[in-house]
């Protein structure tokens, strides 16, 4: 394993521009998006191009074997739409089958049964069909070139790649395809992925059908079944994305938008509703008083979402009640400003239940907030032979408790951690497109960067640079990680208040997510971009 210490320290200013902008975790992927914007592509076109390039340059986090979600803002209509590109459990996978095989409590994280139908390819194609302007072949061309000719692996990515080789790729069927003779590429080494280039060529020519039917689908089914899973070609051929109504709340005069369940964006909205009552701007940003309130609001939010977030086709959540300001007031009364409470239970509202992130704004003002993930780095690490991508392990997000709303069932989508976000002004104009990737950190990151932008009036880069807190397992009783840079006296005081805390530094800071923000100045139209210092990426402006 490489050294856990980050080998560099840096500071950067926000990136400013007047036309389009792309922000993501790999500069080569951001360049792919800018290239498409320069060809006259829409924010959707550039988002798909960037996501495809990220599959090449950061397979440690994302790819066609995973899922995606997107929020899309149309400047001419000021409407926000939500795309759910997540996959479902195979038709042959059931709790009864798992019990017969000895899995009554949980599944091993990299087992073939955790492979849900990869939804990313259909999501890319559906986003392009609805909002795209350029041919799909043009959009995927930069990623294909990177896969064929190779690219130098970035430092943080190389670290994650080495972890993935040890944890998944070295033992998973086909995992050797994403190594250099069995090892991870080192920082600056060139990595080529001809199998992925072949996959992208097929999608460029045949669209989603080329992925979900034919040779690629057959290879996916074969490798999963060979590893003990039950996913079939029929499961793949019947997959489809859904277009959903986004959910939102108001905070400090803005509308904050998230995708609805089965994603966990609800967590961020619940926490913001609780925190809206407090005058956080008058509290030290990294002081114990303010962080205690944030942590307690997140505990309450997770208590609700870890129960209510599930596939709405099976168990719809009472969203109207959960998002009401009255319910927020009721939950807020449970917070003791002096002490932590670790045994939070979900409420009962009455209605009137690893990853890459990228954001794009085009020259017409349309915005795409987009997230794509394998889960747990390389997912299962299983690679369909000759196709150059790993299969996700999102099925690990199911509950095996038959009484739980998120209980595994055939054809059901699991609780999903990946969430994009948008914010608009009261008049409907765009404020920002943003997201913070990283498992259960994601809604916590959304809350913290919104507080930095709105309560503290920081620019996007400064908001992303600020040290964060994280409820490590996304539960109400979770341990709290505090990022290096938060004062020791704050850690001491939070511990005295009853929070189980730990300080986190070095490469372990990946726990706090990796975010991107593009903010649009309403008066001048200038775009302000920020990219997380915990990753390899950047924001780039269109000239």
Please state the rounded mean pLDDT for residues 326-343: 94
pLDDT tens, residue by residue, 10-52: 678 999 999 999 999 999 999 999 999 999 999 999 999 999 9
* Contact status, residue 276 vs residue 254, Cβ threshold 8 Å: no
Cβ contacts of 240 within 8 Å, gap of 6 or more: 122
The three-state DSSP-derived secondary structure of 306-363 is: HHHCCCCCCCCCCHHHHCCHHHHHHHHCCCCCCCCCCCCCCCCCCCCCCEEEEEEECC
Can you give the pLDDT at residue 510?
87
Residue 429 banded pLDDT, cuts 50, 70, 90: very high
Can you give the pLDDT at residue 9?
65
Counting beta carbons within 10 angstroms of the beta carbon of residue 12, is it exposed (0 to 12), middle (13 to 18) or buried (19 or more)? middle
* Contact status, residue 241 vs residue 83, Cβ threshold 8 Å: yes
Other C-beta atoms closer than 10 Å to the C-beta of 85 total 28
Q: What is the DSSP string of 298-314?
A: HHHHHHHHHHH-S-TTT
Residue 348 banded pLDDT, cuts 50, 70, 90: low
* Contact status, residue 301 vs residue 448, Cβ threshold 8 Å: no
| CA torsion through residues 227, 230, 232, 236, sign | negative
Phi, psi of 301 (to 5 degrees): -65, -45
Residue 104 banded pLDDT, cuts 50, 70, 90: confident
Q: Which CATH number fits domain 265-308+318-352+469-512: 1.10.246.130, 3.30.460.10, 2.70.150.10, 1.10.10.10?
A: 1.10.246.130
Q: Which of 174, 271, 158, 272 is nearest to 219 (CA)?
A: 174
Residue 351 banded pLDDT, cuts 50, 70, 90: very low
* Contact status, residue 148 vs residue 137, Cβ threshold 8 Å: no
* Contact status, residue 359 vs residue 370, Cβ threshold 8 Å: yes
* Radius of gyration of the chain from its Cα atoms, rounded to whole angstroms: 22
pLDDT above 80 (res 342): yes
Percent of the chain's residues with pLDDT above 90: 92
pLDDT above 70 (res 7): no
Which two tokens mark 160?
């994650």
Please state the rounded mean pLDDT for residues 290-306: 96
Q: In this predicted structure, which of 55-64, 312-321, 346-355, 389-398 has the lowest mean pLDDT?
A: 346-355
Please state the rounded mean pLDDT for residues 194-216: 98
pLDDT above 80 (res 136): yes
* Contact status, residue 411 vs residue 85, Cβ threshold 8 Å: no
Cβ contacts of 193 within 8 Å, gap of 6 or more: 56, 59, 147, 178, 388
Can you give the pLDDT at residue 352?
36
Residue 353 banded pLDDT, cuts 50, 70, 90: very low
pLDDT tens, residue by residue, 456-478: 999 999 999 999 999 999 998 99
Residue 1 banded pLDDT, cuts 50, 70, 90: very low
How many CA atoms within 13 Å lie on the side-chain side of 386?
8
| CA torsion through residues 400, 401, 405, 409, sign | positive
* Contact status, residue 84 vs residue 244, Cβ threshold 8 Å: yes
Sequence ranges of the domains in the chain: 27-243+356-397, 265-308+318-352+469-512
Predicted TM-score of the model (pTM) = 0.95
pLDDT above 70 (res 8): no
Please state the rounded mean pLDDT for residues 287-307: 97
pLDDT tens, residue by residue, 219-243: 999 999 999 999 999 999 999 999 9
Q: Which of 300, 319, 295, 320 is nearest to 309 (CA)?
A: 319
Q: What is residue 247's three-state secondary structure?
A: strand
Write out the catalytic residue numbers. Answer: 355
Which two tokens mark 165?
């080789």
Phi, psi of 518 (to 5 degrees): -125, 120
pLDDT tens, residue by residue, 44-89: 999 999 999 999 999 999 999 999 999 999 999 999 999 999 999 9
Can you give the pLDDT at residue 189?
98
Can you give the pLDDT at residue 347?
76
Strands (E), 362-507: 367-373, 421-425, 430-437, 469-471, 480-483, 501-504
Can you give the pLDDT at residue 465?
95
Phi, psi of 487 (to 5 degrees): -55, 145
Q: Which of 471, 438, 436, 440 is nearest to 450 (CA)?
A: 436
pLDDT tens, residue by residue, 147-170: 999 999 999 999 999 999 999 999
């Amino acid at each position: 394993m490489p050294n856990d210490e980050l080998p560099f320290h840096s500071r950067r200013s926000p990136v400013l521009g007047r036309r389009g902008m792309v922000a993501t975790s790999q500069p080569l992927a951001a360049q792919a998006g800018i290239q498409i914007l320069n060809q006259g592509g829409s924010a959707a076109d550039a988002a798909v191009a960037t996501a495809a390039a990220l599959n090449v340059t950061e397979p440690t986090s994302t790819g066609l074997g995973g899922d995606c979600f997107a929020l899309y803002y149309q400047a001419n209509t000021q409407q926000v739409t939500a795309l759910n590109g997540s996959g479902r459990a195979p038709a042959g996978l059931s709790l009864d089958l798992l019990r017969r095989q000895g899995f009554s409590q949980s599944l091993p994280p990299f087992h073939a049964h955790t492979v849900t139908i990869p939804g990313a390819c259909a999501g890319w194609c559906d986003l392009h069909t609805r909002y795209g302007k350029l041919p799909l072949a043009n959009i995927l061309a930069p990623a294909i070139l990177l896969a064929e000719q190779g690219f130098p692996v970035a430092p943080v990515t190389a670290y994650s790649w080495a972890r993935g080789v040890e944890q998944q790729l070295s033992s998973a069927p086909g995992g050797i395809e994403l190594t250099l003779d069995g090892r991870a590429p080192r920082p600056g080494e060139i990595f080529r992925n001809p199998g992925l280039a072949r996959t992208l060529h097929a999608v460029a020519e045949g669209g989603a059908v080329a992925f979900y039917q034919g040779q690629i689908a057959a290879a996916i089914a074969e490798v999963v079944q060979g590893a003990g899973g039950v996913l079939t070609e029929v499961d793949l051929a019947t997959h489809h994305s859904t277009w959903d109504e986004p959910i939102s709340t108001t905070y400090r005069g803005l509308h904050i938008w998230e995708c609805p369940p089965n994603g966990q964006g609800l967590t961020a909205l619940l926490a913001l509703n609780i925190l809206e009552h407090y005058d956080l701007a008058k509290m030290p940003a990294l002081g114990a008083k303010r962080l205690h309130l944030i942590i307690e609001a997140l505990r309450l939010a997770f208590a609700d979402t870890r129960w209510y977030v599930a596939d709405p086709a099976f168990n719809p959540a009472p969203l109207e009640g959960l998002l009401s300001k009255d319910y927020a007031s009721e939950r807020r009364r449970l917070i003791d400003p002096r002490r932590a409470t670790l045994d939070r239970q979900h409420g009962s509202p009455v209605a009137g239940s690893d990853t890459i992130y990228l954001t794009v704004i085009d020259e017409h003002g349309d915005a795409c907030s987009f997230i794509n993930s394998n889960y747990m780095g390389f997912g299962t690490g299983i690679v369909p032979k000759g196709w150059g991508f790993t299969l996700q392990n999102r099925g690990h997000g199911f509950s095996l408790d038959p009484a739980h709303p998120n209980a595994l069932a055939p054809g059901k989508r699991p609780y999903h951690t990946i969430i994009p976000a948008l914010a608009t002004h009261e008049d409907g104009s765009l404020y920002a497109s943003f997201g913070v990737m990283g498992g259960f950190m994601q809604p916590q990151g959304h809350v913290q960067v919104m507080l930095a932008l709105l309560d503290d009036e920081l620019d996007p880069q400064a908001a992303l640079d600020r040290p964060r807190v994280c409820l490590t397992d996304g539960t109400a009783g979770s341990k709290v990680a505090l990022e290096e840079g938060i004062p020791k006296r704050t850690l001491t005081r939070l511990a005295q208040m009853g929070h189980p805390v730990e300080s986190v530094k070095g490469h372990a800071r990946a726990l706090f997510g990796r975010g991107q923000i593009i903010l649009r100045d309403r008066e001048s139209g200038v775009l302000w971009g920020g990219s997380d210092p915990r990753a390899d990426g950047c924001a780039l402006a269109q000239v």
